[in-house]
Amino acid sequence: MTSRFRYSRWDGTQIGFDYDADSIFEELTDDLLYHGDLNAALRRLMQEGFDDRNGERMQGIRELMEKLRQQRQERLQQHDLGGVYDEIADALKDVVEMERSALDDMLEKARETGDGRRQEMAETTATTKAMELDMMPPDLAGQVRTLDNYEFESAEAAEKFAELMDQLKQQLAQSYFDQMAGAMSNVSPEDMQAMKDMLADLNQMLADRDAGNEPDFDGFMEKHGDFFPENPETLDELLELMAQRMAAMQAMLNSMTPEQRAQLQGLSEQLMEDMDLAFQMDQLGSHLQDLFPQMGWDQRYDFSGQDPMGLAEAAQMMNELGDLDQLENLLGNAASPGALSEVDIDKARDLLGDDAARSLERLSEMAKMLEEAGLINNKEGRLELTPKGLRKIGQNALAELFKKLTRDKVGKHELEQRGTGHERSYQTKPYEYGDPFNLHIERTVRNAVRRHGGGTPVTLSPEDFEIEQTEHLVRSSTVLMLDLSLSMPMRGNFLPAKKVAMALHSLISGQFPRDYMGLVGFGAVAREITAADLPEVSWDYEYGTNMQHALMLSRQMLARESGTKQIIMITDGEPTAHFEQGMDYPYFNYPPVPATIEATLKEVQRCTKDGIRINTFMLDADRGLQSFVERMSKMNGGRAFFTTPDNLGDFVLVDFVEQKRKLSRSRRAG
């Protein structure tokens, strides 16, 4: 079967590119080049986020944490915890007012009858009951206790009070269940007894573990598993869940004023009247605070809004605030993408929305995707670049620089055919007997179609054949001298220069594989750099630009190579350091002294004698650097380029490829 494809006009809704390891690595490239630390680069990418190739924002941890703080602030500025008892107080006040109205009606009806004894009894009863109502304590628990023992005159008030008590008991029982076993509705006395049994068994398991015995967790879950919809797999997971719920309730108590807290606690004791349940919960709470001291048992929230919350609403709000705190804490402590796998994505979606949840999922997958693509390795918990990753950095740098070049300046210059001793010349000719049969397929088929007409199969004849011309290989040996002195990062030149180094290495190793490329970094002293070390290379924290030492190392490296030899030097400062005979440490002075200039020019002279051309690319060149480079170029015959960080790559890559072509043409002409 043949594959069929359908194409349509872009309307802005289609997804153009997949989120893959290559797109992640592109985002990491600059950071890796500048700092050379893969783990730090991933952490920074996690923190800052990025826009993917579809233009979709990948929110970083900083953005997500700011959203969490905004969500928390919105809740605190909207609601008021006073409603936890205010609505109860208002409901009790309504009951009392209803009862007082009934007493007034009773007196009025007694007066209307004209019966003096009935009127006297009514007045005595009304006075006694009114006094009882007037003497009610100010706290809610005392009011509930008084009304619970009060003989209502109003059947409607008595019924409303009974309904209120049932509702409050249900809410308190619900809050206990929310703490202990997740959300449940319609809590019955049987449910309360089942919860007490569960708490007793759980406390016994903890006592067994403290005594060194193995708790029967499986038996516990078989008996009480319905309480835990999260289905924890270990005792520790179960305890952590319960600690989160109890800590949320404790946060609500901490957030109340002392008067509010006393009101709620007294009301709870008055309504529940279950000492065994209170004992089991206190015992478990003490255990959990010892096991999870980091859970935020002292957390409190400053509510400043106008919307009062009832008890059930407040308990739910505390759970939400606890979830916000937990997610913020997890994000704040995430040192690697793998740590984000612990995030409950569904909960994050409820708190922050779909976009944030999708960003968290993608952030957590970054390291895994890079590892599966073969770009990084996890070595004993630390991520490292693989050889493929090293090549990819150079390819990304090269691709970025080539994007800025116009097509008429330089093509990609790929070396598609690796025959011995030849390179493509990007020209074709009709095939003649004796020519190497390097067939150019596209032009050959085009000749056949032009000659014989369209249709399939295409009929080929010898006169249709067109071949690619090749030229004799010219081997070049290049050493790139990269200035690593402190002025490079201070002036913003380090990243562009290092990016060019990676790009040039990628260009030579990928498209001119027979060429040699060496790397020398120089600051106060010079050192040879391997391609594998290049991504981690950083600047020197010592003052000094020791071109003399760098030229000497480069000359020694090129002495072992054949072909056309050149040094490409990228620098932003004149030489300010040099070695003298017998010195273990370089001499430094700024501005440079004549001895440093002369020592450096002696190395230039030695390079010239060995046939090595020195091409210099100057960044932010001042008068001193220009003067020195002019002397060096006059002595050596190399070329000098005055560049900026923005066009450095254009100059270096174009110059290298153009010189390569010139050498090839001169070899053919010779």
373, 21 contact by CB (below 8 A): yes
470, 422 contact by CB (below 8 A): yes
- Torsional class of 478: left (φ above 0), alpha (ψ -120 to 50), beta (otherwise): beta
575, 596 contact by CB (below 8 A): yes
Using CA atoms, how far residue 428 sits from 370, 449, 450, 459, in Å, is: 41, 18, 17, 21
* pLDDT per residue as tens digits for the range 299-321: 888 888 888 776 667 777 887 88
DSSP bridge pairs for 565: 477, 612
pLDDT at 406: 42
554, 535 contact by CB (below 8 A): no
Structural domains of the chain, ranges and CATH numbers in brackets: 21-78+326-375 (no CATH), 83-302 (no CATH), 422-472 (no CATH), 476-669 (3.40.50.410)
What is the rounded CA–CA span in Å between residue 198 and residue 202? 6
* pLDDT per residue as tens digits for the range 80-89: 876 666 777 7
Band (pLDDT 50/70/90 cuts) for residue 423 is very low
CA nearest 416: which of 510, 508, 507, 506? 510
If one compares 653 and 199, the residue with the highest pLDDT of the two is 199
Highest mean pLDDT out of 244-253, 379-388, 611-620: 611-620
CA nearest 203: which of 271, 291, 272? 291
Q: Is 269's pLDDT higher than 50?
A: yes
Highest mean pLDDT out of 4-8, 41-45, 290-294: 41-45
If one compares 59 and 306, the residue with the highest pLDDT of the two is 59
If one compares 17 and 602, the residue with the highest pLDDT of the two is 602
CA nearest 80: which of 250, 251, 300, 307? 307
Q: Is 412's pLDDT higher than 50?
A: no
pLDDT at 173: 60
If one compares 262 and 97, the residue with the highest pLDDT of the two is 97
pLDDT at 399: 72
Mean pLDDT across the stretch 338-355?
Answer: 86
Band (pLDDT 50/70/90 cuts) for residue 526 is very high
Highest mean pLDDT out of 400-409, 475-484, 661-670: 475-484
Q: Is 172's pLDDT higher than 70?
A: no
Q: Is 276's pLDDT higher than 50?
A: yes
Mean pLDDT across the stretch 538-556?
Answer: 91
Band (pLDDT 50/70/90 cuts) for residue 518 is very high
Q: Is 189's pLDDT higher than 90?
A: no
If one compares 57 and 548, the residue with the highest pLDDT of the two is 548
Mean pLDDT across the stretch 70-78?
Answer: 88
Q: Across the beta sheet with 612-619, what order do the strands follow? A: 526-529, 516-522, 476-483, 564-571, 612-619, 640-643
Band (pLDDT 50/70/90 cuts) for residue 599 is very high
pLDDT at 255: 78
Q: Is 560's pLDDT higher than 50?
A: yes
What is the rounded CA–CA span in Å between residue 447 and residue 466? 8
Q: In the block, which residue shows the tokens 């008021």?
A: 80
132, 142 contact by CB (below 8 A): no
pLDDT at 174: 58
pLDDT at 208: 87
pLDDT at 402: 61
pLDDT at 176: 57
pLDDT at 664: 56
If one compares 548 and 660, the residue with the highest pLDDT of the two is 548
Low-confidence winner among 406-410, 459-463, 522-526 (lowest mean pLDDT) = 406-410
Q: Is 667's pLDDT higher than 60?
A: no
Average pLDDT, the chain: 80
Mean pLDDT across the stretch 348-365?
Answer: 88
Its pTM stands at 0.59
pLDDT at 376: 87
The percent of residues in the chain predicted with pLDDT above 90, rounded, is: 14
Q: Is 635's pLDDT higher than 90?
A: yes
Q: Which two tokens stand for residue 142?
A: 């005392």
3-state secondary structure of 515: coil
172, 268 contact by CB (below 8 A): yes
Band (pLDDT 50/70/90 cuts) for residue 595 is very high
* pLDDT per residue as tens digits for the range 232-264: 888 888 888 778 777 877 777 787 767 767 666
Q: Is 409's pLDDT higher than 50?
A: no
Mean pLDDT across the stretch 462-472?
Answer: 73
3-state secondary structure of 589: coil
pLDDT at 472: 47
Q: Is 20's pLDDT higher than 60?
A: yes
pLDDT at 414: 36
Using CA atoms, how far residue 107 sits from 113, 114, 125, in Å, is: 10, 11, 9
Q: Is 210's pLDDT higher than 80?
A: yes
pLDDT at 63: 92
Band (pLDDT 50/70/90 cuts) for residue 188 is low
Q: Is 15's pLDDT higher than 60?
A: no
Band (pLDDT 50/70/90 cuts) for residue 587 is very high
Q: Is 115's pLDDT higher than 90?
A: no
pLDDT at 171: 66
Task: Mark out the alpha helices in 256-410 (DSSP H runs).
Answer: 258-272, 275-291, 311-332, 345-352, 354-372, 387-403
